[in-house]
Amino acid sequence: MRVLYIYRHPDMGFSIGKVFKPIEEEMEKYAEVDSVYLPCSNYQPKSLWKNIRAARKAVSQKRYDIIHITGAEHYLIPFLPEDKLVVTVHDIMYYYYLSGLKKVLWKWLFIYPLKQAYYITFISEFTMQQVLSVINLPKGRITVIPNPVSKGFVFKHKDFYESKPVVLHIGTLERKNLQHTIMALEGLRCHLRIVGTITKDIKERLKEHNLEYSSVENLSDEEIVKEYRDCDIVNFPSTFEGFGMPIIEGQATGRIVVTSDMSPMKDVAGGGAVLVNPYSIDSIRNAYKLIIKDGGMRKSLIENGLENVKQYKTSVIALKYLEIYNKNKL
């Protein structure tokens, strides 16, 4: 079996590449594998056409059994052999921020083409239901396959620092809910460790609520892993996600995870996280009070998290994709 993985340009974000490269490497045990990165990093008409040409050229190099668009570039679908196409959808959240003509164009470029692919996978049930609320897709050609946790995230014991736990917060976009976290942690003895760009508004909010904090950005993969190992609690009360990688990364490392009681976060977490209402400062605050106070609960959360994350191993996820690839050969 020959498989070609198509990735968006790295300048559009490494997140999809980070998720799929380990799957690609694992798939080499079962198939002949190639990959290509698209040459353009924007959606201007000329760039779209260059990307289409690059994808078609890559496909023409060998007789591939499977062509897998790893995410985002759904506009390629009508220009590639549809009976060999597997497409992974990570989210369509941008669609909900648009209106008017832009929303119509985005739908035609990134949602409607999905109807033509041989098989579509979604990284969460939540993402699948979002797409199905916009278009109808045959039940026999869709399924949920979650993202794998990177092999770099492994269990590392750390005694919980009760007197001043380190709270790791990944990301500073509005939906990552840093603002509510800052307000919730006011008055609690802790150190907030922020990974991401700190804006002037965030700095003012941190000062206003007298919170001890530090921040870093532009970290390497190894440095990100170290941040997880050095913290006591992973904070992820996001309001909108396609999946929620920090949840399983925290669980794999053996850390307490606080996340939203909304899909897909609560689904990804299984029973290995404290679930909070991301819109309620009191809910987030009470969760932290309980975590700091209850050592028995912390132990159970870590154990449940380590059990939950087993289903997200790269080897497990790769076999799920292999099963779909093999269906196309029957």
Mark whether 188 and 291 lie in a shared domain: yes
> Does residue 157 form part of some domain?
no
Do residues 124 and 132 touch, judged by C-beta distance below 8 A?
no
The answer as to whether 156 is a domain residue is no
Does residue 159 lie in a domain region? no
Does residue 161 lie in a domain region?
no
Question: Alpha-carbon distance 302 to 43, whole Å?
Answer: 43
Provide the whole-model pTM: 0.92
CATH of residue 78? 3.40.50.2000
Q: Are 124 and 208 part of one and the same domain?
A: no
Return d(Cα 217, Cα 106) in angstroms, integer: 31
Q: Residue 82: inside a domain, yes or no?
A: yes
Residues 142 and 184 in one domain: no
CA atoms within 13 A on the CB side of 65: 15
Domain residue limits at 323: 2-148+313-327
Tally of domains within the chain: 2
Looking at the fold, whether 175 and 119 belong to one and the same domain comes out as no
Per-residue confidence of the chain (330 residues) as pLDDT tens digits?
999 999 999 888 657 888 899 999 999 999 999 999 999 999 999 999 999 999 999 999 999 999 999 998 999 999 999 999 999 999 998 888 888 999 999 999 999 999 999 999 999 999 999 999 999 999 999 999 999 999 999 999 999 999 999 999 999 999 999 999 999 999 999 999 999 999 999 999 999 999 999 999 999 999 999 999 999 999 999 999 999 999 999 999 999 999 999 999 999 999 999 999 999 999 999 999 999 999 999 999 999 999 999 999 999 999 999 999 998 765
